Amino acid sequence: MSTNQNRVAVVTGGSRGIGRAVAERLAADGQHVVIAYAGNDVEAKSAVAAIEKAGGRAGAIQADVADEKAVSRLFDTAEQWFGRVDVVVNAAGIMILRPVAQLDLNEFDRMHRTNVRGTFVVAREAVGRLREGGAIITFSTSVTRLNLPTYAAYAASKAAVEALVPILAKEMRGRDITVNAVAPGPTATALFLDGKSEDLIEHIASQNPMQRLGRPEDIAEVTSLLAGPGRWINGQTIYVNGGAA
């Protein structure tokens, strides 16, 4: 039996892109999945329907990850539906790309509210809810190493996530709860592809030794490991980028 079998996972940002691929992979592994989404009911229902069609169990609830009351309700709902929470994957995030001199501070604050505060709020709630043997998985980005122009504010928000991970892992001492971050490279999602020319996409894809963009399923595969059998990986940021950085 898979070590993911019969576990219960909360996946924020689970209605689209990498988050949806993670939700579908964990469900395929045998986990019951609760998808938290920001506001698109259609996408959330589609994600749940896809999991159920494949034989999994899932539900979706709208929640602002930066709102502690909403996050508390999210975990309450997961426990009401499935009895417990074993795994938390915080894939919710916002990416706004501007040079430092051109980024509006309201955009900066909005991005950091979701990416930093949201990660902290979800992690704080998870600490009090997860059972022994659980896992907390956050999301960073390989851009923290690539140093690309226009990514400064986004990379800074994700660097904060990376700083949180090893400290929280140590705070979980004695509870058999792992804490890790996944840091994808360029991945073929709507968020990444939007507004980019074919030439630019091909150029970015050529930068790693595999000479392609990542697929959401590539990221979900690593998340699946951390969410179940990868018990000796703890306090780490795993760069999942085909060797780009």
Catalytic residues: 154
CA distance 245 to 242: 8
Q: Which neighbouring-strand residues pair with 181?
A: 138, 237
**Beta-strand pair 32-37/8-12:** parallel
Residue 169 burial by Cβ neighbours in a 10 Å radius (0-12, 13-18, 19+)? middle
Amino acid at 193: L
Q: Encode burial over 211-223: b for 16+ CB neighbours within 10 A, e otherwise.
A: eebbebebbbebb
> Tokens 């018990």 sit at which residue?
231
Count CB-CB contacts under 10 A for residue 113: 17
